[in-house]
C-alpha cells in the first residue's frame, strides 16, 4: 500500500511540476508578447514623429522658398520700374524681358510705392452737458 501511496504522490508531483512548467512557459510567452507589443507601439510613435518632423521641415522649406521668391519678384519689379522710369515703353520692356505686357504692368504696379489717400479729419462731436436732474434735462430739451 505504501508503494501505491508513493506512486500517487509521485504522479501528483509530476502533474504539479508539469503544470508549473506550463504556467511558467505561458507567463514567459505573455511577457515576450507584452515586450513585443510595447516595442511595436513605441515604433509606431517613432514613425508618427518622423512623419510630423518631415511635414514641419517641408513647411519650413516651403515658407523659406516663398519668401525668397517674393523677394526675387520685388527685385524684378524694381528693375522693371527702373526701365519704365528711364522712358522705356511697356511693350519695349516686355520685349526685352520676354514677359507679357500685362506681366510688365503688374510688376510696375507692384514696385510703385503704395500711396494711401489722405484721410479727412473727422470732427469729434462735442460732448453734451449731462443733466444733473430730470428738471435740468427737461429745460435743456425745451431750449
Angle (nearest 5°) at CA 52 between 50 and 53:
65
Q: What is the pTM of this model?
A: 0.53
Please give the average per-residue pLDDT across 15-19, as a whole number.
93
Give pLDDT tens digits for 122-135: 555 555 555 555 55
* Residue 4 pLDDT exceeds 90: no
Quick one: pLDDT band at residue 114, thresholds 50, 70, 90? confident
Q: How close are the terminal C-alpha atoms of the chain, in Å? A: 132
Buried b (16+ CB within 10 A) or exposed e, 9-21: eeeeeeeeeeeee
Residue 104 has pLDDT above 80, yes or no: yes
Three-state DSSP at 75 gives: helix
Average pLDDT, the chain: 86
Amino acid at each position: 500500500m505504501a508503494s501505491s501511496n508513493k506512486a500517487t504522490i509521485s504522479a501528483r508531483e509530476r502533474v504539479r511540476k508539469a503544470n508549473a512548467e506550463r504556467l511558467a512557459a505561458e507567463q514567459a510567452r505573455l511577457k515576450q508578447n507584452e515586450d513585443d507589443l510595447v516595442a511595436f507601439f513605441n515604433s509606431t510613435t517613432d514613425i508618427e514623429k518622423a512623419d510630423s518632423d518631415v511635414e514641419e521641415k517641408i513647411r519650413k522649406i516651403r515658407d523659406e522658398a516663398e519668401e525668397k521668391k517674393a523677394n526675387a519678384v520685388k527685385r524684378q519689379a524694381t528693375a522693371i520700374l527702373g526701365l519704365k522710369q528711364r522712358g522705356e515703353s511697356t511693350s519695349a520692356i516686355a520685349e526685352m524681358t520676354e514677359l507679357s505686357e500685362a506681366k510688365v504692368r503688374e510688376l510696375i504696379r507692384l514696385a510703385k510705392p503704395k500711396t494711401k489717400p489722405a484721410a479727412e479729419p473727422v470732427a469729434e462731436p462735442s460732448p453734451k452737458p449731462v443733466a444733473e436732474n430730470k428738471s435740468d434735462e427737461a429745460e435743456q430739451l425745451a431750449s
